[in-house]
Structure 1
Amino acid sequence: MKFLHDFMNMKSNGEKMTMLTAYDYPSAKQAEQAGIETILVGDSLGMTVLGYESTVQVTMQDMKHHAKAVRRGARDTFMVVDMPFGTVGVDDKTDMENAVELYQETNANALKMEGAHTAPLIKRCTQSGIPVVAHLGLTPQSFGITGYKLQAASKEAAEELIADAKLMEQSGAVMLVLEAIPSDLAATITKTLSIPVIGIGAGADTDGQVLVYHDVLNYGVDRKPKFVKRYGDFTTGVDALKAYHEEVKAGLFPSPEFTYKKQIMDEVDA
């Protein structure tokens, strides 16, 4: 497993980092086998595997359930877990209790929090020994306000994002995710900060990249954001399931090679 000092060294040496968003035991196991350095248990599991309309419906229990499965599948991979909607910004005491609960019960290596408003909580978590990955740019928990579109596209917004990124580092964030922002702005922030910057829809000049397992493999997704590249195609699963359905209907499955054979009925008094 890589640790925080390893990621800092990778940034210093110009070595790119890989992060993959995964939500269960088999996907986590595959990610670890592939050598992915960081797994993010993202609240995007709401839409991707639970069928919710957005991340807003994701609960603390959802995050704990899936994070525990991921940890079982990838025991030797650095795991980051999202703080879900409604668990940050309640009040100082409740926010910290939520962070401690999620960190302890999932055996996470770090938590992830969206938005610059989380800076005070990031600072308190850091002081308490909980590493935090910050997330700026397009923050899905705030999609009702920002929309799913390019962020920081104006000079004023870009300057604000740079200031927010510096605030995240000053507050103690160990890593920063930048989503759906202009590539030149992402490059500037990456050079400005001493902590690793991971991009998603933020160009090639960040310290690393993150994509969602289901997007990478075209597995059960109905959308393809501009920044997603397909590296596999799990839609072949539909053809396989159709073939299974048709063989059962036609009496072709199970054939003899898939059947336990034992001459026992001669001994049975039916």
Structure 2
Amino acid sequence: MDLFHDRPHVEDIRAMKAQGQQLSMLYVATPEEAAAAEAAGIHILSIEGRRWTPEMREAAGCCFVQVGLPLGPLGDPGKRLVTAEDYLREAFDLAAIGADCFYCVASYDIQKALCDNHLAVVGHIGLVPSYITWTGWRAVGKTTEEALTLWAHAKRMEEIGIFGAELEVVPDRIAKFLSEHTSLMLFGMGAGPYADAQYLFTEDVCGYGVNRKPRHAKSYGDLGPELDRIQQARIAAFRAFREDVDNKGYPALEHTVPIEDEAFDAFVAAALD
């Protein structure tokens, strides 16, 4: 498998931060979305571990790819990420496919174990969906105390060797401070213009999301009606196929493979002999 060795690596991404280059980042869920992002020149992709396949790596092309390590259960009910060894095993399997870094919001000791094994790790600062019960769906860091907690969290991650962090729904001036005072690559989602990369979900960018669009999201297309039209056309085609089968209209003579009478008669005679 071609692992696209000409794609950026961690040192290249860090160099872009040092040069003040603003990066673009998209969450993608299908090979088609990944290929479109690569063709458009998107710098960084975020992909869930359960969706990470050789086909996705090929579709992502020269994009730098962050692959998510989930908390707890994976797609297989019998497989769970609980211990550092579980996370390491999963990360190395994903690295073999060509993951460039790993999103992980497990405990510091698990994150450190990944870092100690020379894996590039991305943590999370601010509104962390995995821990939403502690904050609710709101901006985090608007008070002095909360902002200091975010700063302490950033420094702790930096100390254990974490490469970057998703910076989600925090005040823009806090994002600016963090970006200027830490070596972490900050992938901003609702964090204003000062994060090192601007991160959005494909469904929001393309306008076909079914969930409530967050305040920080921006749509650059309106694919929703077109996808709905395609879905309705798909349903109509499936319904017509079923009705054709019900009415014995399919398969017709032109859909079948003929056999000469002489050959068929000889077959029957031999089979029943």
Name the TM-score, length of structure 1 as normaliser: 0.76
What's the counterpart of residue 100 of structure 1? 92
What's the counterpart of residue 260 of structure 1? none
2:52 is aligned with 1:75: no
What's the counterpart of residue 8 of structure 1? 14
Deviates more, 1:165-174 or 1:142-151: 142-151
Structure 2: distance between partners of 1:264 and 1:234: 36
Once the two structures are TM-superposed, the CA of residue 147 in structure 1 deviates from its matched residue by 1.8
Q: 1:36 aligns with which of 12, 19, 42?
A: 42
Mark the CA change 1:89 to 1:136 in structure 2 (over 3 Å): closer, same or farther: farther
Residues 23 and 67, structure 1, Cα contact 8 Å, conserved in 2: no
Coordinate RMSD, CA, aligned: 2.9
Residues 181 and 202, structure 1, Cα contact 8 Å, conserved in 2: yes
The letter for the 2-side match of 1:73 is A
Q: 2:228 aligns with which of 238, 243, 252?
A: 238
Residues 133 and 176, structure 1, Cα contact 8 Å, conserved in 2: yes
> Unaligned 5+ residue runs, structure 2?
1-6, 74-79, 241-253, 261-273
What's the counterpart of residue 243 of structure 2? none
2:199 is aligned with 1:200: no
Deviates more, 1:74-83 or 1:224-233: 74-83
Structure 2: distance between partners of 1:163 and 1:244: 52
**Which structure exhibits the higher relative contact order, with contacts defined as CA atoms closer than 8 Å and separated by 6 or more residues?**
1
What's the counterpart of residue 90 of structure 1? 82
The letter for the 2-side match of 1:96 is L
Structure 2: distance between partners of 1:134 and 1:217: 26
The letter for the 2-side match of 1:183 is D
- Count of aligned pairs between the two proteins: 234
What's the counterpart of residue 46 of structure 1? none
The letter for the 2-side match of 1:166 is K
Higher Rg: 2
What's the counterpart of residue 168 of structure 2? 179
Once the two structures are TM-superposed, the CA of residue 119 in structure 1 deviates from its matched residue by 2.4
Once the two structures are TM-superposed, the CA of residue 241 in structure 1 deviates from its matched residue by 4.5
Mark the CA change 1:89 to 1:186 in structure 2 (over 3 Å): closer, same or farther: farther
Q: 1:125 aligns with which of 114, 117, 124?
A: 114
Q: Runs (4+) of structure 1 moved beyond 4 Å?
A: 240-250
Q: Deviations over 1:141-175 (max 9, x none)?
A: 11233222111221111101101101111111111
Residues 22 and 70, structure 1, Cα contact 8 Å, conserved in 2: no
Q: How does 1:133-144 map to 2 (within 5 A)?
A: 133-144=122-133
Mark the CA change 1:74 to 1:241 in structure 2 (over 3 Å): closer, same or farther: same
2:202 is aligned with 1:213: yes
2:140 is aligned with 1:151: yes
Structure 2: distance between partners of 1:245 and 1:212: 27
The letter for the 2-side match of 1:229 is K
> Unaligned 5+ residue runs, structure 1?
43-62, 251-262
Mark the CA change 1:123 to 1:242 in structure 2 (over 3 Å): closer, same or farther: closer
Structure 2: distance between partners of 1:12 and 1:38: 17
Deviates more, 1:236-245 or 1:7-16: 236-245
Structure 2: distance between partners of 1:264 and 1:129: 58
Mark the CA change 1:15 to 1:246 in structure 2 (over 3 Å): closer, same or farther: same
Q: 1:22 aligns with which of 24, 28, 33?
A: 28
Mark the CA change 1:234 to 1:174 in structure 2 (over 3 Å): closer, same or farther: same
Deviates more, 1:156-165 or 1:67-76: 67-76
Once the two structures are TM-superposed, the CA of residue 70 in structure 1 deviates from its matched residue by 2.3
Once the two structures are TM-superposed, the CA of residue 99 in structure 1 deviates from its matched residue by 3.4
Structure 2: distance between partners of 1:210 and 1:243: 33
Q: Deviations over 1:19-77 (max 9, x none)?
A: 111011100000100111111014xxxxxxxxxxxxxxxxxxxx33x111421311322
